[in-house]
Amino acid sequence: MREFLTRLPKAELHLHIEGSLEPELMFALANRNGIELPYDSVDAVRAAYEFDDLQSFLDLYYQGMSVLRTADDFFDLAMDYFRRAHAEGVVHVELSFDPQAHLSRGVELSTQIDGLLRAMREGERKLGLSTALILSFLRDRSAEDALDVLEKAAPYWEALDAVGLDSAEFGNPPSKFAAVFERARELGIPRIAHAGEEGPASYVREALESLDVCRIDHGVRCLEDASVVDTLRDRRIPLTVCPLSNVRLKVVEDMRDHPLPTLLDAGLVLTINSDDPAYFGGGVLDNYLACHEAFEWSRETFAQLARNALNVAFMSDARRRELLAELDACQASDA
């Protein structure tokens, strides 16, 4: 099964690129930029990766990204992940980034985006990856701040495949950002949002109704409201589920308790993703393998999950046809 899941052409739709920062690269960038970390070794950093909840993770997440200062840093960050993902059979990566977390440290938006776009071009040229860029707003900051960032990104609007909403859910409902997402709609930029991870099922409905999103990141708590499940199923709204993340952040206690099988039985459009792979136990392949171990799904089920991701990814129709043909060939060779 590991060999099959590695060969399976997989798309990563829910990835925070700052969350792909491995401790080794963190130390290398800290040395390059003359930054002193509060850890004396890579092992000490990894030992800190035990989280009680989303907020305890976010505290370390923001501390780690302090080493990102130059366009080269953002380039190296993305390329480091692209190489790992490529080795695991990932063929398409959609990377979200949090510009507000860097702007508040004095890192210009152009520095962030220029480095990431350069890596995306390099990933396509050297690794054959297709990529998409998602500008995410921090929901624990004001809607006015988010709108300001969107307007500052005007030189890059054409390069953005979507805008998103992430960070601490509690007390920050999707409707808080309705005006920001309406502005993105006016600009013709697709919209996605985290909802129903720590927040309730009502946040999933809000994201659909107030933000007009085409995709829900996480969404596992939709099961608390049958009408929300019905809406997701009837409208074929994809969920980008991140199983290992849900376990690490105590959304569920154990993989065997994860609601993925129930979501699958409900007829929802599910995809499997890594979220923050450096912090949560691995990339897309590790998440597929964890599902295999917990649920013993068939190869057909995993192929359908991979197909779902390719069908809803932000990519050209030509690229989609190419990757779906690769998926068909992978299944046929395994028959």
Does the pLDDT at position 50 exceed 80?
no
- Given a cut of 90, whether residue 206 has pLDDT beyond it is yes
Select from 112, 85, 84, 117 the least CA-distant residue to 98.
112
Q: What is the mean pLDDT of residues 237-252?
A: 95
With 80 as the cut, is the pLDDT of residue 260 above it? yes
Whole-angstrom distance, CA of residue 18 vs CA of residue 97: 7
| pLDDT for position 4 | 97
The matching CATH number, chosen from 3.20.20.140, 3.40.50.2000, 2.40.30.40, 3.40.50.720, for 2-334 is 3.20.20.140
Kindly tell me if the per-residue pLDDT of 335 is higher than 80: no
3-state secondary structure string, 48-91? CCCCCCHHHHHHHHHHHHHHCCCHHHHHHHHHHHHHHHHHCCEE
pLDDT score recorded for residue 295: 98
Q: In sequence order, what are the residues at sequence separation of 6 or more whose Cβ sits closer than 8 angstroms to the Cβ of residue 320?
A: 310, 311, 313
Of 197, 206, 296, 300, the catalytic one is 197
- 270-300 pLDDT, tens digit per residue, is 999 999 999 888 999 999 999 999 999 999 9
* Residue 54, pLDDT above cutoff 80: no
Task: Fill in the amino acid letter for 203.
Answer: Y
Report the pLDDT value the prediction gives residue 71, as an integer from 0 to 100.
98
Residue 41 binned pLDDT confidence (cut-offs 50, 70, 90): confident
Residue 37 binned pLDDT confidence (cut-offs 50, 70, 90): confident
Residue 268: per-residue pLDDT: 98
Of 62, 94, 81, 54, the C-alpha closest to 246 is 54
pLDDT of residue 131 exceeding 90, the answer is yes
How many angstroms separate the CA atoms of 161 and 157, rounded? 8
**Percentage of residues of the chain with pLDDT beyond 90:** 87
pTM exceeds cut of 0.85: yes
151 included as an active-site residue:
no
CB 218 within 8 A of CB 242: yes
198-205: average pLDDT? 97
Asked if the model's pLDDT at residue 151 lies above 90, the reply is: yes
Q: Report CA-CA distances (Å) from 295 to 82, 240, 241, 286.
A: 28, 18, 15, 14
List the structure tokens of 220: 């596992």
Q: What mean pLDDT value characterizes the chain?
A: 95
**Does residue 277 contact residue 243 with C-beta atoms inside 8 Å?**
no
Q: Where are the domains of the chain?
A: 2-334
Q: Specify the residue for token string 């808080």.
A: 176
pLDDT tens digit sequence for 224-239: 999 999 999 999 999 9
Handedness of CA 246, 249, 255, 256 (dihedral sign): negative
